């Protein structure tokens, strides 16, 4: 019998009428990488927030090395040797990378003067030891999401903890960065550190985890050795039914005339003369590494970023896109990558988040038709399987993945003729991904056109009619997605 470094026993937690956790046990052995799995809203993040004192459990106990322990807040948990990399990043945007890495534990000398020099040295030394480059002086607000995530990870790692909890750490990382993170995780494991790992990417579980625990609807389903299980079995445990396929079958859909032409698009210091055409009824996938310019194309076409030059034609007519207002008037929509900051209003209800940009659809003249608003919001919530007690709940009370679904719902309801999806399934569980793919097919069948940016090649391959590959601000290639096309071909272009 191996000893448990952490035992959570009989943990129960309700938020109002929502029972997030119902008598849950989690037993983690010292030095293992233990995966915590489950659909969006299953209770994974809540369980971890009970561990670190963000929430108090209604019932249950926590034992660390056999000793009953209660942390009242993150600081106490950190002092007790447990650190956390959260799903929703906890960085102070107005501070530097270095200040964030040492947040809450700035070093000072005997006179109380902050010792930037030694902190910088420690930071650089640490970054070097994990083979990662990062300028400690840069403001966090200027970093990409992936870089922000690395700051958060570095902060947790530099604390010298016994247990590190990672809640979807790879959701925003590029494949190269994920590779680096896994190396770091292996180094930590060799040092005897225990890791609790949450992810919706099941391949990762098989790559780095030793054991796993599945939650469903706030209940324990099973705890298993990774070596003894298979992906289809895990999916079945998570969603509660068997799922034969991760992707719906590709249906033939007619592709029509050009709806969007982009010529010679340059953005300051980024895009280097991009040319492409999107056709009616087409799903155009954009692959490439994080930082290769995929999101910049999306933002430029949506009028969200300033462009240096470039011409646009919509339905064969030359148009000017200089603001998001212009884009929306041309029926172009964007579901942004960073949905927390750009896509949603977390203090508003689920319903308002869906209808707020679509008020004309639920109004007659200037009069809001409340019944219709409720009906339409309910319909979208149901179609995407958003887990919420009601459509009147505030968005920030939903689990991370369910917040993502609401932002998607807003744009799918908006019915734009050209919809740009930037990482549409990030943080979304297997079952819900399938539903989203079906909705994308539904849109193109109705003659809409979709540009889909994704870091998950299987998703690009399964859905796209054509695939564009970006590298360092340049369009490397644009190919028909045919039978013989292989992921290696695309990766070759993505790596330049
Ligand atoms: N602060 C809160 N107020 C009300 N309900 C909440 C709150 N936090 C979580 N919940 C509810 O508790 C349940 C579990 O949420 P949790 O965030 O733990 O899910 P999760 O497994 O982490 O999902 P995801 O994969 O989407 O991140 C959900 O139904 C969610 O709506
Ligand atoms: Mg979560």
The pLDDT score that the predictor gives to residue 223 is 97
In the predicted structure, residue 260 carries a pLDDT above the cut 90? yes
* Strand order through the sheet with 272-279: 272-279, 258-266, 309-314, 317-319
CA dist., res. 353 & res. 349, Å (int): 6
State the distance from the centre of ligand 1 to the C-alpha of 57, rounded, in angstroms.
Answer: 14
Specify the pairing of strand 33-37 against strand 194-198.
Answer: parallel
pTM above 0.85, yes or no: no
- For the CA of 200, the nearest atom of ligand 1: 25
State the distance from the centre of ligand 1 to the C-alpha of 245, rounded, in angstroms.
Answer: 27
DSSP secondary structure letters along 437-457: HHHHHHHHHTT-EEEEE-S-H
State the distance from the centre of ligand 1 to the C-alpha of 399, rounded, in angstroms.
Answer: 4
Tokens standing for 218?
């706030």
Give, using CA atoms, the residue closest to atom 1 of ligand 1: 397
Q: Which fold does the domain 258-494 belong to in CATH? A: Rossmann fold (3.40.50)
State the distance from the centre of ligand 2 to the C-alpha of 218, rounded, in angstroms.
Answer: 12
Q: Which residues line ligand 1 (CB under 6 A)?
A: 15, 18, 20, 38, 40-46, 87, 387, 397-402
Reported confidence tier of residue 180, pLDDT bands at 50, 70, 90: confident
pLDDT per residue over 101-118, tens digit each?
A: 888 778 888 888 888 998
Tokens standing for 161?
């903890």
Reported confidence tier of residue 147, pLDDT bands at 50, 70, 90: confident
The pLDDT score that the predictor gives to residue 415 is 78
Judge whether 206 and 235 are in contact, CB under 8 Å. Answer: no
Neighbouring CB atoms inside 10 A of 216's CB total: 18
Give, using CA atoms, the residue closest to atom 22 of ligand 1: 45
CA dist., res. 444 & res. 440, Å (int): 7
Give, using CA atoms, the residue closest to atom 29 of ligand 1: 41
pLDDT per residue over 181-226, tens digit each?
A: 888 888 889 888 999 999 999 999 999 999 999 999 999 999 999 9
Task: Identify the H or E element spanning 372.
Answer: helix 370-383
Domain(s) of CATH 3.40.50.300: residues in the chain: 4-239, 258-494
Taking the mean position of all CA atoms in its chain, how far away is CA 412? 18
State the distance from the centre of ligand 2 to the C-alpha of 232, rounded, in angstroms.
Answer: 22
Ligand nearest to C-alpha 13: 1
Give, using CA atoms, the residue closest to atom 31 of ligand 1: 398
Give, using CA atoms, the residue closest to atom 2 of ligand 1: 397
Tokens standing for 370?
């409340």
Judge whether 274 and 262 are in contact, CB under 8 Å. Answer: yes
Out of 14, 16, 20, give the residue to mutate to test ligand 1, the one with the largest number of ligand atoms within 8 Å of its CB.
Answer: 20
Reported confidence tier of residue 156, pLDDT bands at 50, 70, 90: confident
The pLDDT score that the predictor gives to residue 160 is 77
pLDDT per residue over 413-450, tens digit each?
A: 877 899 999 999 888 888 888 888 988 998 899 899 99
Q: Which fold does the domain 4-239 belong to in CATH? A: Rossmann fold (3.40.50)
Over range 173-181, report the average pLDDT: 78
Q: Which of 52, 84, 69 is nearest to 7 (CA)?
A: 69
pLDDT per residue over 354-401, tens digit each?
A: 888 777 788 888 888 889 999 999 998 988 888 899 999 998 888 888
Over range 156-171, report the average pLDDT: 86
In the predicted structure, residue 453 carries a pLDDT above the cut 60? yes
Q: C-alpha distances in angstroms, 175 versus 86, 170, 179, 181?
A: 20, 9, 6, 10
Q: Return the bridge partners of 479, or none.
A: 467
State the distance from the centre of ligand 1 to the C-alpha of 21, rounded, in angstroms.
Answer: 9
Residue 129, C-beta contacts closer than 8 angstroms, at least 6 positions apart: none
The pLDDT score that the predictor gives to residue 261 is 97
Specify the pairing of strand 211-216 against strand 272-279.
Answer: unpaired
Give, using CA atoms, the residue closest to atom 7 of ligand 1: 397
φ, ψ of residue 135 to 5 degrees: the values are -80, 115
Give, using CA atoms, the residue closest to atom 4 of ligand 1: 397
Judge whether 313 and 398 are in contact, CB under 8 Å. Answer: no
Average of per-residue pLDDT values in the chain: 89
State the distance from the centre of ligand 1 to the C-alpha of 117, rounded, in angstroms.
Answer: 41
Out of 46, 47, 408, give the residue to mutate to test ligand 1, the one with the largest number of ligand atoms within 8 Å of its CB.
Answer: 46
3 state DSSP class of 369: coil
Residues, CB-to-ion distance under 5 Å, ligand 2: 45, 87, 399-400
pLDDT per residue over 48-95, tens digit each?
A: 999 999 999 999 999 999 999 999 998 899 889 998 887 666 788 889
Give, using CA atoms, the residue closest to atom 24 of ligand 1: 40
CA dist., res. 312 & res. 321, Å (int): 7
Over range 241-258, report the average pLDDT: 84
State the distance from the centre of ligand 1 to the C-alpha of 19, rounded, in angstroms.
Answer: 10
Q: Where is average pLDDT lowest: 134-138, 231-235, 357-361?
A: 357-361
State the distance from the centre of ligand 1 to the C-alpha of 18, rounded, in angstroms.
Answer: 9
Please give the share of the chain, as a percent, with pLDDT higher than 90: 51
The pLDDT score that the predictor gives to residue 339 is 62
Out of 43, 219, 349, give the residue to mutate to test ligand 1, the one with the largest number of ligand atoms within 8 Å of its CB.
Answer: 43
CA dist., res. 454 & res. 289, Å (int): 9
Out of 8, 11, 13, 18, give the residue to mutate to test ligand 1, the one with the largest number of ligand atoms within 8 Å of its CB.
Answer: 18
Q: Return the bridge partners of 196, or none.
A: 34, 165
Give, using CA atoms, the residue closest to atom 17 of ligand 1: 399
């Amino acid at each position: 019998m191996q000893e448990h470094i952490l035992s959570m026993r009989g943990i129960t937690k309700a938020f109002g009428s929502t029972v997030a956790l119902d008598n849950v046990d989690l037993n983690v052995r010292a030095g293992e990488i233990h995966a915590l799995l489950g659909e969006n809203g299953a209770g994974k993040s809540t369980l971890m927030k009970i561990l670190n004192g963000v929430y108090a459990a209604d019932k249950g106990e926590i034992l660390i090395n056999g000793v009953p322990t209660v942390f009242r807040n993150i600081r106490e948990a950190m002092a007790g040797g447990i650190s956390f990399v959260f799903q929703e990043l906890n960085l102070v945007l107005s501070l530097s990378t270095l200040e964030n890495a040492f947040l809450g534990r700035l070093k000072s000398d005997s006179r109380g003067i902050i010792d930037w020099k030694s902190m910088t040295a420690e930071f650089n030394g640490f970054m070097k030891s994990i083979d990662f480059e990062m300028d400690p002086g840069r403001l966090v607000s200027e970093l990409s999401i992936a870089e922000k995530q690395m700051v958060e990870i570095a902060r947790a790692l530099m604390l010298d903890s016994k247990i590190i909890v990672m809640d979807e750490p790879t959701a925003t990382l590029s494949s190269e960065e994920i590779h680096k993170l896994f190396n770091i995780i292996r180094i930590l494991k060799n040092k005897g550190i225990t890791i609790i790992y949450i992810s919706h990417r099941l391949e990762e579980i098989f790559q780095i985890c030793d054991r796993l625990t599945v939650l469903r609807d706030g209940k324990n389903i099973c705890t298993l050795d990774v070596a003894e299980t298979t992906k289809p079995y895990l999916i079945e445990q998570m969603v509660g039914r068997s799922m034969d396929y991760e992707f719906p079958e590709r249906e033939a859909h007619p592709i029509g005339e050009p709806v969007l032409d982009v010529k010679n698009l340059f953005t300051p210091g980024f895009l280097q003369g991009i040319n492409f055409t999107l056709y009616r009824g087409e799903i155009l996938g954009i692959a490439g590494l994080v930082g290769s310019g995929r999101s910049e194309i999306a933002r430029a076409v949506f009028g969200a970023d300033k462009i240096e030059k470039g011409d646009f034609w919509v339905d064969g007519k030359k148009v000017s896109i200089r603001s998001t207002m212009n884009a929306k008037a041309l029926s172009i929509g964007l579901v942004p990558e960073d949905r927390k900051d750009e896509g949603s209003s977390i203090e508003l209800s689920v319903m308002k988040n869906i209808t707020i940009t679509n008020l004309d659809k639920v109004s007659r003249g200037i009069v809001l038709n409340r019944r219709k608003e409720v009906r339409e919001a309910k319909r979208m919530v149901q179609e995407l399987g958003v887990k919420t007690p009601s459509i009147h709940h505030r968005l920030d009370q939903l689990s991370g993945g369910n917040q993502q679904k609401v932002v998607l719902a807003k744009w799918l309801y908006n019915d734009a003729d050209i919809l740009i999806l930037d990482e549409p399934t990030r943080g979304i569980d297997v079952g819900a991904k399938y539903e989203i793919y079906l909705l994308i097919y539904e849109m193109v069948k109705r003659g809409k056109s979709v540009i889909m940016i994704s870091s998950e090649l299987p998703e690009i391959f399964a859905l796209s009619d054509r695939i564009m590959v970006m590298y360092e601000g340049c369009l490397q290639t644009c190919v028909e997605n045919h039978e013989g096309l292989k992921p290696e071909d695309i990766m070759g272009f993505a790596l330049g």
